[in-house]
Amino acid sequence: MESLTTTADINTTVKKIFTDYMVQSGLRKTPERYAILEEVYSFNSHFNVDSLYDSMVNKKFKVSRATVYNTIEHLLNCQLITKHQFGQANFLYEKSFAYRQHDHLICGDCKKVFEFCDPRIGQIQSTIGKILNFTIAQHSLNLFGKCNKLAETGHCDNFKL
């Protein structure tokens, strides 16, 4: 795969992937579906369906909640987003195309999700794959605990990795 260096390159590519998926699945290529894809790829963090819907409504885009839910399912099916459940009742999502593999720390106090990347995890993944003669396509690592910032300051807003 060629290197995608700009947001515009990524957005063009994800739109093509989504278009190809809709054609292969016999789905209509509606402006609402493309607008939802564009909004998802404008987020820089995890989101839930309600926050996505609210963002669309706040931007005066006329889209139904059902369309948002259905489009999320299609984006999952063509692997343009990833679904997470970090011990909460509802699911969180994040864009996944052209974004590096990362893992998550989930604070049980403030419920924040912190992303981190440590190359040693990739090395462990590779080693385990070789030992077990198993090709690992992807991984998901979620570590649950409590961030120290809450204990130190009474809030988690300034957490940095």
pLDDT-derived band at 158 (thresholds 50, 70, 90) equals very low
Residue 111 CB-half CA count within 13 A: 8
> Which residues share a beta bridge with 106?
113, 144
Greater confidence (74 vs 100) lies with: 74
Backbone angles phi, psi at 106, to 5 degrees: -120, 120
Domain 103-153 bears CATH identifier 3.30.1490.190: yes
Q: Read off the pLDDT of residues 83-131 as tens digits, 9 standing for 90 and up.
A: 887 776 678 898 888 666 778 788 887 777 787 778 888 888 889 999 9
Q: What is the CATH number of domain 7-95?
A: 1.10.10.10
Mean pLDDT of 60-68: 93
Positions of CATH 3.30.1490.190 in the chain: 103-153
What percent of the chain lies above the pLDDT cut of 90?
Answer: 43
